[in-house]
Structure 1
Amino acid sequence: MDLDVDEVLSAFEAHLRFERDMSPHTVRAYIGDVTALLDYLAGHLDGVDVTALRGWLAEQHDAGKARATLARRTACIRTFSAFCHRQGWLPNDPGLLLGTAKAPRRLPAVLDQGQAREVLDAPSEGEPRDLRDQALLELLYATGVRVSELCGLDVDDVDRERRVVRVLGKGRKERSVPFGGPALRALDRWCVHGRPLWVRTGSGPALFLGVRGGRIDAGTVRRVVHARVRRVEGAPDMGPHGLRHSAATHLLEGGADLRSVQELLGHASLNSTQVYTHVSIERLRSAYRQAHPRA
């Protein structure tokens, strides 16, 4: 069956955006992968079988693509072939016969609790930028939210009385995450003494603003986190996701149960949360090796 490639890509993109509710980043990656697959197939879907799909993946492997990239492209192919089968473009779904490629799971770099204190207790000059940066750092570490979730927060999402923040996570799933006194005080300083100085006509209800009054973007948050962490001697270089990892690890080290941490982080699967138990065990091993006389 010869189909118009642009029509196929457009239909698949709409499926990813509106039916699967995938993030813009994932949609772009999947469309890029399918474009490369259709080039390999010369635009012909008719007769495509698991051998052809494996051939494309083998070509990617031979080209030196990383295992993480191959894992994503395998997942993309399976999604695409299932979509084409439902559309009637393929007589069956060859993606069902593909094995699931797994990327190696690396343990995330995390701050120890002393380093986290140094990051958050750095002196501030009280300028609006300082107040905003301190508030977002405190909230990132206190809640473990993703950077996209932080950027999407509105002023009314913060319940100061109950000390919880309402977050819209992956798949547009809403959850409430608690935070502590230091984050509350930093937020109050920003909202009272900083944010009003940056508010413009188009600011809307955004909790965190850029210097021009618009909603803060993820790139700005990453620069803030990297710059603050770099001030701490011995701390691993990290961005907002590193603070998320650190918050989860410190919660488990403090006695929180895995299910509670899963709920706080907004993980759909407990498997995603279990990596932090490995981080804690590795740190325990490191401390044991350094301290025990017969380690």
Structure 2
Amino acid sequence: MEPIDKLVEEKRINRTLSREQVVALLDAPDRGTIAGFRAYVFLLVLLDTGIRLEEALTFRVHDVYWQEQVIQIYGKGRTERVVPFSETLALRLREYQEMRGEQEHDIFFVNAEGQPLKRRYVQEQISDYGKLANIKGVRVSCHSLRYTFARNYLMNGGDIVSLMSIMGHKTLEMVKLYAEMYQPHISVQHTKYSPVNSILND
């Protein structure tokens, strides 16, 4: 078997939502209802933290540390990590928690009966909001929102090592793929820091 080359798995570059698409998606839920506001806040959580769907569905009220502005997340294999969130999200989380009130379950996001949200329900709801927002060219899903977080984090100046920690990756392999996804941004950085441009234009 030694002469046979190892198969190289093709890596697909996942599409992410543009700024305009994110705004349109966030405008889709009817925030005048409790269910609509809950969906709006849930979308904000995915876009602001980059956590996985399962992680967003299972963190509890006591996992939110308001003063430190972090959420304690139990990821794959029950590994623990803390994920920071913005002041903007903090305001919306508090609003939703007040609407939510005291419930039988300590899970943060619950339905009208006070029960944890179902994975399938949330997946279909996010897809439906994407259609309502008339988003084209990208499949609106929890995965695409996670990739959108990664893209914007890097484009806003975040580094790969901290991104790896926030997203719960064990190796740099996946976050390197995220970096490869954003070639337009890399081109801008190259233009800005090109050694030849620097030397010849001095």
Q: Which runs of 5+ in 1 are unaligned?
A: 1-50, 52-97, 286-295
TM-score (norm 2): 0.82
Residue number among 118, 135, 146 corresponding to 1:244 in the alignment: 146
* Structure 2 contact 29–40 (Cα < 8 Å) conserved: no
Offset from partner CA, 1:190-239 (integer Å, 9 cap, x none): 1112x238x4xxx4211111333211122122122212222144351221
Residue identity matched to 1:139 = V
Which structure's residues are more often helix, by fraction? 1
Percent pairwise identity: 24
1:119-198 counterparts in 2 under 5 A? 119-122=25-28, 124-193=30-99, 195-196=100-101
* Structure 2 contact 52–142 (Cα < 8 Å) conserved: yes
Structure 2 residue aligned with 1:209:
110
1:211-230 counterparts in 2 under 5 A? 211-230=112-131
Structure 2 residue aligned with 1:22:
none
* Structure 1 contact 109–238 (Cα < 8 Å) conserved: no
Offset from partner CA, 1:64-122 (integer Å, 9 cap, x none): xxxxxxxxxxxxxxxxxxxxxxxxxxxxxxxxxx9865431100110112322222244
- 1:283 Cα offset (Å): 6.4
Aligned in 2, Cα 1:283/1:218: closer, same or farther, shift over 3 Å?
A: farther
Partners of 2:115 and 2:8 in 1: how far apart? 39
Partners of 1:160 and 1:229 in 2: how far apart? 30
* Structure 2 contact 155–185 (Cα < 8 Å) conserved: no
Partners of 1:178 and 1:108 in 2: how far apart? 24
Partners of 2:163 and 2:182 in 1: how far apart? 14
- 1:123 Cα offset (Å): 6.1
Aligned in 2, Cα 1:233/1:147: closer, same or farther, shift over 3 Å?
A: closer
Partners of 2:5 and 2:92 in 1: how far apart? 49
RMSD of the TM alignment (CA)? 2.4
- 1:241 Cα offset (Å): 1.0
Partners of 1:133 and 1:267 in 2: how far apart? 26
Structure 2 residue aligned with 1:261:
163
* Structure 2 contact 73–82 (Cα < 8 Å) conserved: yes
Q: Which runs of 5+ in 2 are unaligned?
A: 188-202
Aligned in 2, Cα 1:219/1:100: closer, same or farther, shift over 3 Å?
A: farther
Partners of 1:114 and 1:165 in 2: how far apart? 27
The alignment of Structure 1 onto Structure 2 pairs a total of residues equal to 185
Partners of 1:117 and 1:207 in 2: how far apart? 24
Partners of 2:5 and 2:53 in 1: how far apart? 32
Aligned in 2, Cα 1:174/1:253: closer, same or farther, shift over 3 Å?
A: same
Residue identity matched to 2:108 = L
Larger Rg: 1
* Poorly superposed stretches of 4+, deviation over 4 Å: 98-102, 282-285
* Structure 2 contact 29–36 (Cα < 8 Å) conserved: no
Residue identity matched to 2:161 = R
Residue identity matched to 1:188 = R
Aligned in 2, Cα 1:272/1:122: closer, same or farther, shift over 3 Å?
A: same
- 1:151 Cα offset (Å): 1.0
Aligned in 2, Cα 1:99/1:196: closer, same or farther, shift over 3 Å?
A: farther
1:86-97 counterparts in 2 under 5 A? none
